Amino acid sequence: MADSGSSVRGEHSDDVAALVAQYERIPDGAPVRLAKPTSNLFRFREDSRAPGLDVGRFDRVLEVDSAGGTAQVQGMATYERIVDALLPTGHIPKVVPQLKTITLGGAVAGLGIESTSYRNGLPHESVREMEILTGSGEVVRARPDNEHAELFRGFPNSYGTLGYSLRLEIELERVKPYVELRHVPLRTARECADAIAAVCAEGAFDGRRVDFVDGTVFSAGEHYLTLGSYVDEAPFVSDYTGQRVYYRSMQEIGRDYLTIHDYLWRWDTDWFWCSRALGAQHPLVRRFWPRRYKRSDVYRRVVAWDRKHSLTDRLAVLRGGGVNEPVIQDVEIPVDRLPEFLEFFHREIGISPIWLCPVRLRDEQGWPLYPMDPETLYVNLGFWATVPLELGELPGRHNRAIERAVAELDGHKSLYSNAYYTEDEFWRLYNLPAYEELKSRYDPKGRLPGLYEKCVREK
């Protein structure tokens, strides 16, 4: 137990009461935002003058029930803190998103995904209960079987527009000390899609159980499916927090071993591969880049500073070129349509590498604000880079092309980054009737922004 007894529950209740009182002091009509030190959203905006709710105290693992396989966790607890509290008990959350400073509340109100998602679904699908401060200022306990069941189901993908989660009860998975990795090379996108479908259907590869599945696309002719399996012992253990870079190892070795801790954070050290744009993968730079700063949140702050001051774009213009369009997206595509999407992406966008992560919903009812088909195996594709624009061309062309392709292939797009949908397009995809019903019940005065306003209009 990370912190135990009635004193912990009492402290949490006191913190909730203080937050409610702070919310009540914000005048009606004034915008509301969370005052928090980190963000994994990529909708970079000017600093808001809206009152900031102080949610910094809601960052703890309150209780761990090892026998029952559950934990009580506050909404602002980062996954780094959650993992540090749970690993000594032999557990982790059923889905641990890749970046250390993603918060549990953020992963549930937005969307998170990782290599256990082919069997454990999305992070909100292992939540049993949520304590939510709603837009009306009321704190409710939402469960799938109580009077707030509609809020429980509609909270995922609401991005803080219905309320904020203060405490969540989550299911846990028991782990082993090490993860054995097999990097399976595949030549074509069709071979890759077929392999993903087969492994996820069987939960095994070459007769061995597979606990983790993700993949990396380096080019139209080079794909790797990375299959992880829990093991009790390892003949060696690799370290990718120093000079070595994790994603490059796929092209170098077929089998690898990591501690469970290092496996969970294998992508954070270099923010997948995005640290290379900042020079952090150059051998000389890397040697002197402090290990404590090889973290996704550090790199994100650098990018935020660059976006604020437009330094990269100004340099491009001075050199006689156009500006760059950020293409930072995660999309879900049905596995059988994956080759079509990759063909479009290589031809029209040209970013590489691309991350692949299969996901199938656990819950047969689905989730109304992100209506994926529970019967379909999807593949999440993550791509995070910039694409040069022609001189005088405005950003948005590449992102709009991606949005159209995703819709044509019956896919879905996560909303953590900029979106370019018209309002009609947006609500056809994200279930306007369900959202309006929840908004009218839990934020009748509109104290919190609307979903379209927050995810599309506010740029």
Backbone angles phi, psi at 316, to 5 degrees: -65, -40
Give domain status of residue 275, yes or no. no
What confidence score (pLDDT) does residue 208 get? 95
pLDDT tens, position by position, 134-176: 999 999 999 999 999 999 999 999 999 999 999 999 999 999 9
The number of distinct structural domains making up the chain is: 3
- Of residues 37 and 393, which shows the higher confidence score? 393
Q: Which residue has the tokens 């609500």?
A: 427
Question: In this structure, are 150 and 247 located in the same domain?
Answer: no
Same domain, residue pair 10 and 159: yes
Long-range contacts of 76-79 (CB under 8 A, 24+ apart): 76/36, 76/103, 76/104, 76/105, 77/103, 77/104, 78/38, 78/102, 78/103, 78/104, 79/103, 79/104, 79/107
Is 16 within a domain?
A: yes
For 361-415, write each residue's pLDDT tens digit: 999 999 999 999 999 999 999 999 999 888 778 889 999 999 999 999 999 999 9
Domain C-terminal end among 175, 208, 233: 175
- Cα–Cα distances in Å, from 44 out to 47, 195, 298, 310, 326? 9, 37, 15, 12, 11
Residue 43 pLDDT > 60, yes or no? Answer: no
Regarding whether 43 and 160 lie in a shared domain, the answer is yes
Q: Is residue 302 part of a domain?
A: no
Q: What pLDDT does 277 receive? A: 87
Looking at mean pLDDT, say which of 46-50, 110-114, 311-315 comes out highest: 110-114
Task: Provide, rounded to the nearest whole percent, the portion of the chain with pLDDT above 90.
Answer: 81
Asked if 98 and 138 sit in the same domain, the reply is: yes
Q: What span, in angstroms and rounded, lies between the C-alpha atoms of 100 and 108?
A: 15
Does residue 434 fall inside a structural domain? Answer: no
Q: Which amino acid is at 248?
A: R
CATH number for the domain harbouring residue 369 = 3.30.70.2520
Residue 450 belongs to a domain = no
Looking at the domain assignment, is residue 456 inside a domain? no
Shared-domain flag, residues 170 and 183:
no
CA dihedral 416, 420, 426, 428 (to 10 degrees): -120
Whether residue 185 sits in one domain with residue 150: no
Last residue of one domain, picked from the residues 238, 266, 294 = 266
Contact 256, 249 (CB under 8 A): yes
Residue range of the domain that includes 394: 310-420
Q: What is the pLDDT of residue 323?
A: 81
Q: Span 277-300, mean pLDDT?
A: 90
The residue type found at 336 is: D
Q: Over 60: is that where the pLDDT of 2 sits? A: no
Mean pLDDT of 254-270: 97
Window from 18-22, 107-111, 394-398, 400-404 with minimum mean pLDDT: 394-398
- What is the rounded distance in angstroms from the CA atom of residue 333 to the CA atom of residue 376? 10
Q: Are residues 342 and 218 in the same domain?
A: no
Q: Please tell me whether residues 194 and 125 are part of one structural domain.
A: no
pTM of the shown model: 0.93
Same domain, 10 and 56: yes
The percent of the chain in helix, strand and coil, each rounded to the nearest 5, is 35, 25, 40
Same domain, 157 and 220: no
The pLDDT value recorded for residue 5 is 56
3-state secondary structure of 330: strand
